[in-house]
Amino acid sequence: MSLNDILESLYSVVRTMRPVDFLDIALLSYLIYYVFKFIRETRAGPLFKGIIFLVVVYAVSAAIELKAITYLLEATFNIGILALMIIFQPEIRRAVEKIGHTQFGLKSLGFGGTSDEVTAKWEIAIEAICDSCVELSSTCTGALIVIERKTRLGEQIENGTIVNAQPSKELFGNIFYPKTPLHDGAVIMRDGMILAAACFLPKPQKEELINKKLGSRHRAAIGMSENSDALVIVVSEETGQISVAENGNLTRNYTRDKLHHLLTEHLIPKQTEGKIRLSSRLRGKGKEGADEKNA
C-alpha cells in the first residue's frame, strides 16, 4: 500500500466522522492516559508487565494448541478482574477520588470549593502546626497530626475525643504531652480547626513490607494515607524527626520551612495564595507611603 493510499484512507475516515466521534476519541485518549498514569504511580506497574506476559503466553499457547496451558490461563483471566479489584482496592479508591477532585470533577460543578473563611483558618493553622512540630521535635515528643482534605474521616473521629478548638502551639503541646489522657492517638484537623484528639488510625495494607525501624505512629500514618487523601504529619518520639505521609508514601527529614511550603501548597488554593501576597505587598507599600508622609 502506497503513501497516497494511506492518506486517502485517513481522509475518508476523517471526512465521515461526526463531532461526537471526536469527543469519543478525546475521552478515550484521556482514559487511556489516566490508566497509564495510574499504573506508573502505583504498585500496578510490575503486575501490569506480568499480565502482558501472560497474554502473550496465552496467544502463543492458543496458536500452537497447548490445551492445558490455554485452559488454565482462560480460568485465570476469568477471575483476574475481580482479583485485581480486591488487590488494588486502596489505589482504585484514591484514583476515583482524585477524578472527583480535579477540574473535571466536583469543582467544575461548583462543589468542593474552599471559602475565604476556611482559607484564613488554614493560614493560622499552618503556622501553629509548623511551630508545634518544631518544638515537639526539639524535645523528642511523639505526635501524630491528620489533616483531613476531601475524604471525610468520620469513622476515625468517632473513636476519638471531640475537641473542636482553634489550633495553637500551646494546645498541641498539651495534647501530645506524654502524661495527658489525649496523647495516645492522633489529632484530626478539619477546615483549619482541631476537630478531635486521641483518634486511632487504620493499619497499613501491607504492613509486612514497611521498614521494621518505623514505629507505630509512622505505620498508622501510612495506613491513614492509604485509606484517604489526608496529609499525616508524624514527629518521632525516638529521633524527633518530622515526617509526612501522603498516598501511602512516607517522606522524612522535614524542616519548618519545608513543612510550611508543603502544607501551603496542599491546603491553600493558588489564586488565594496570590491574593495574600498581593495584599501583603499593597499593605507594605501603603506603610512605606505613610512613613514618607510622616517624615
Which string of b and e fits 17-56 if b means at least 16 CB within 10 Å? eeeeeeeeeeeeeeeeeeeeebbeebbbeeebeeeeeeee
Distances from the Cα of 258 to the Cαs of 118, 122, 168, 263, 277, in angstroms?
22, 17, 19, 9, 19
Residues 6+ apart with CB under 8 A from 208: none
Identify the top-confidence range among 130-134, 202-206, 212-216. Answer: 130-134
CA-CA distance, 117 to 268, in Å (whole number)? 11
Query: Would you tell me the crossing angle of helices 44-63 and 19-41 to the nearest 10 degrees?
Result: 110
Q: Which residues does residue 197 pair with via DSSP β-bridges, in sequence order?
A: 161
Helix (H, G, I), strand (E, B) or coil at 110: coil
Q: H or E segment at 194? A: strand 193-199
Asked if pLDDT for residue 43 goes beyond 70, the answer is no
Q: What is the phi/psi pair of residue 145, to 5°?
A: -120, 120
52 has a pLDDT exceeding 60: yes
Q: Which of 129-133, 165-169, 207-211, 233-237 has the lowest mean pLDDT?
A: 207-211
The helix (H) or strand (E) run that includes residue 139 is none
Rounded distance between C-alpha atoms, residue 106 and residue 102, angstroms: 7
| Residue 130 grid cell | 509548623
> Taking a C-beta distance cutoff of 8 angstroms, is the pair 140, 238 a contact?
yes
All three cell numbers of 223, joined, read: 495506613
- Going from N- to C-terminal start, the domains of the chain cover 3-109, 116-275
Over 90: is that where the pLDDT of 12 sits? no
Give 241-244 contacts, CB < 8 A, sequence gap 24+.
241/137, 242/133, 242/134, 242/137, 243/218
pTM, whole model, 2 decimals?
A: 0.60
pLDDT of residue 97: 60
| pLDDT tens for each residue of 56-82 | 888 888 888 888 888 888 887 777 777
Measure the CA–CA gap between 118 and 269, rounded to whole angstroms.
Answer: 11
How high is the pLDDT of residue 166?
94
215 secondary structure, DSSP code: -
- Does the structure show a pLDDT above 50 at 263? yes
- What confidence tens digit (pLDDT) does each residue in 118-128 have? 889 999 999 99
CATH classification for the domain delimited by 116-275, as one of 3.40.1700.10, 3.40.50.880, 3.50.50.60, 1.10.10.10:
3.40.1700.10
On the question of pLDDT at 88 being above 70, the answer is no
pLDDT reported for residue 66: 85
* Confidence band of 116 (pLDDT split at 50, 70, 90): confident
Cα separation, 208 vs 47, in Å, equals 19
Question: Where does the pLDDT of residue 6 fall: very low under 50, low under 70, confident under 90, or very high at 90 and above?
Answer: confident
